Amino acid sequence: MESGEPSSPIRNGTKIPGTHPGDRYIRHVASGDLPIREIAPGRFVAEPAEPVSIFGKAWFRLRRAIIGRPLHTAEAPHQRIGKVKALAVFSSDALSSTAYGPEEILRILILAGSAAYAYTLPIWLAIVLLIMIVVFSYRQTIRAYPHGGGTYIVSRENLGVGAGLVAAAALLSDYILTVAVSISAGVAAITSALPSLFPVRVELAVAAILFLTIANLRGIRESATIFTVPTYAYIVCLGLLIVLGVASLAGIGPEAHPVRYEPPPPSSPLTLFLVLRAFAAGSTTLTGIEAISNGLPAFKDPQPENARTTLLAMGLLLVGLFSGVTLLSYHSHLMPSDRETIVSQLARTLVDDSPFYYVIQAATALILFLAANTAFADFPRLAYFLARDRYLPRQFRFQGERLAFSTGIVTLGLVSCLLVILRRADVSALIPLYAVGVFTAFTLSQSGMVVHWWRKARGDLRRLQWHSLLMNGLGAITTGIVTAVILVTKFIHGAWIVVVVMPLLIAMMVGTHRHYVSVAEQLRVSPEEARRRLRIVPRRIVAIVPVFSLNRASLLALNYARAVADDVTAVHVATEPESGELLQERWRETGLTIPLVIVDSPYRELLGPLVAVIEKLHREKGAPLITVVIPEFVTAHWWERLLHTQTAWRLRRALADIPDIVITTVPYHLQE
């Protein structure tokens, strides 16, 4: 409300549109500068307000400079991206793997000596066929789930909750490894061109992860804009290099001068197991193919058509770039080296140390750095779905100021930094951990789609879409075989870590779900119980009760407020559009006569609007003191507190510095 305007009473059920998310420090009521302005009788709009303290102002402006202005909830549809930007965001992981996938094949084969090079071509052909099968399988998934059919959702709906959690754990671990591997490979590209930077490779990797974290906190549309140019620069530069290589083979291009590294002495016999190991290492090229299906909600309308087109384009580019790098490296007999990547050797073979060589290395480093952005786009979204289903802490559900899932982004950044530090940004040390999760997810997703098509036909073979079922069935069989191969061949080389971590993740998610179910059960209240628990005891005191939902904890607080005050008002801040209507409906069902004020918060801020409306009610009611009765449930174990947002504690802190307000906490103790 503007300073000097007469205040109007806030009536029961009045909606107050929300405040600016930066408005965490509310000016004192005496100044009259409240972030609430009356726009019609009984209707208010919350306005932005800059913090008052020097520290608050500094942090407010720094956050705005780094993250950007806050976005209104209504702006969410405008943050979706088209096919061109989506290819940059969701395909950078898969496309960037062409920079290290072929190298990993050669790195394993060379253990048996130069003669093993002959197996490069069969492995290349098998991986190309695998890419095509997986791409067309996921196109069927997008068609079947036009509103978003990520691996977790497909597995859970068709194979059961257990399969869904296995798929989720596989993808969560894979996204973390995607960041670590991509960033480490990008640093390797830089140190290949500038060997003097090799000693600080870990510091470079951590700095790159922090940059990606900040960029993604700015929102998916802005991060897509940032990453579009580097992605297409890599496609063009590597494509030109492949064209030059093909021209050189035809005798019409630059003369090739292959880089020669001495092969290591043979340390392993040439066996089927070794060939399978090389195939498993090269299969890391497929990581990231599922990202487009998982990220379907981020596409502009028509979402399914745009996603299917983008997936096909990504598949064609992936096959072309992977084939070019693999076949040219095979023809030139390039040897993997710890000091120089295969792409760097291939570039020097064709263009020596010309400026184009450094352009290629720069583009490769950038795409490898930005490949991690695929994980930053999908990890927070998967964490949101898991939190929505109560398998992860509910903090992962909340969108930040830029409509990005900030908790998921920050978590991914921190865990990836830790992994890079522990593994010293060494791609070879990280690769054995890679691809186990993603191929497990591939297999479960495609198996789920087979069940989906069968259920859709309801057993009627005439209605069964055979081409879809066969495509997804072929995808399930092939990716299942590859999963087994990867587990067997990589197990002793580090894959056992992922095999151990995945059950731990699943156990953590199951434990989290049990806790939330127990909390909901203990807080659930029927209309009859609500009427029975509320008793009117008049007092000459004004009380306000923040109500987040109608449950036993809030009823206990309301009952206490009625026991100590004769003027009680309930206040609810609706950070989601439907929560206000749902609470009003519950309020009417229980027959509650306590006035209910609803504050719409389109910027999803909770404390700012809540403090503002408490101050406004304080002014209107004219009481010398006003009691804020805060409901709070107390968990049975201390560690369970980490699964909750500590809203009551944050509200107490926000109200502590405001005079003439008495804060009362009414605890509701949960049982084990």
The answer to whether 68 and 219 have CB atoms below 8 angstroms apart is yes
Extract the tokens encoding 398: 């909340």
Which one, of 227, 250, 237, lies nearest residue 321 by Cα?
237
pLDDT at 380: 87
Report how far residue 249's alpha carbon sits from residue 289's, in angstroms, rounded to the nearest whole number.
Answer: 31
> DSSP labels for 57-91?
HHHHHHHHHHH-S---GGGGGGG-B-HHHHHHHHH
Q: What is the mean pLDDT of residues 256-263?
A: 76
Q: What is the pLDDT of residues 56-90, one digit of tens each?
A: 667 667 766 666 666 555 555 455 778 888 888 78
Tell me: pLDDT of 538 over 50.
no
Tell me: pLDDT of 320 over 90.
yes
* Least confident span in 141-145, 313-317, 425-429: 425-429
Tell me: pLDDT of 165 over 90.
yes
- Distance from CA of residue 72 to its chain's centroid? 20
pLDDT at 60: 67
Per the model's pLDDT, the better-predicted residue between 14 and 131 turns out to be 131
Q: Do domains 1-70+524-672 and 84-507 have the same CATH topology?
A: no
Per CATH, the homologous superfamily of domain 84-507 is: Amino acid/polyamine transporter I (1.20.1740.10)
For the chain, what is the mean pLDDT?
A: 80
Q: What is the pLDDT of residues 558-611, one digit of tens each?
A: 999 988 888 899 998 888 878 888 888 888 888 888 888 888 888 777 888 888
Q: What is the CA radius of gyration of the chain?
A: 29
The answer to whether 486 and 439 have CB atoms below 8 angstroms apart is yes
Which one, of 373, 435, 385, lies nearest residue 177 by Cα?
435
Tell me: pLDDT of 266 over 90.
no
The answer to whether 198 and 426 have CB atoms below 8 angstroms apart is no
pLDDT at 33: 45
Q: What is the pLDDT of residues 203-226, one digit of tens each?
A: 988 998 988 888 888 766 665 666
Give the pLDDT band of residue 52 (cuts 50, 70, 90).
low
Query: Which of 147-151, 321-325, 656-660 ranks highest by mean pLDDT?
Result: 321-325
pLDDT at 402: 64
**What letter would DSSP give residue 36?**
E
Using DSSP, state whether 97 is helix, strand or coil: helix
pLDDT at 45: 56
Tell me: pLDDT of 125 over 90.
yes
Strand order in the sheet with 596-600: 15-16, 596-600, 567-574, 542-546, 626-634, 661-669
Tell me: pLDDT of 236 over 90.
yes
**Fold of the domain spanning 1-70+524-672:** Rossmann fold (3.40.50)
Q: Where are the domains of the chain?
A: 1-70+524-672, 84-507
The answer to whether 60 and 279 have CB atoms below 8 angstroms apart is no
Q: What is the mean pLDDT of residues 487-516?
A: 87
Tell me: pLDDT of 309 over 60.
yes
Q: What is the pLDDT of residues 387-422, one digit of tens each?
A: 989 999 988 987 766 667 788 899 999 998 998 898
Tell me: pLDDT of 20 over 80.
no
Tell me: pLDDT of 465 over 80.
no
Per the model's pLDDT, the better-predicted residue between 654 and 409 turns out to be 409
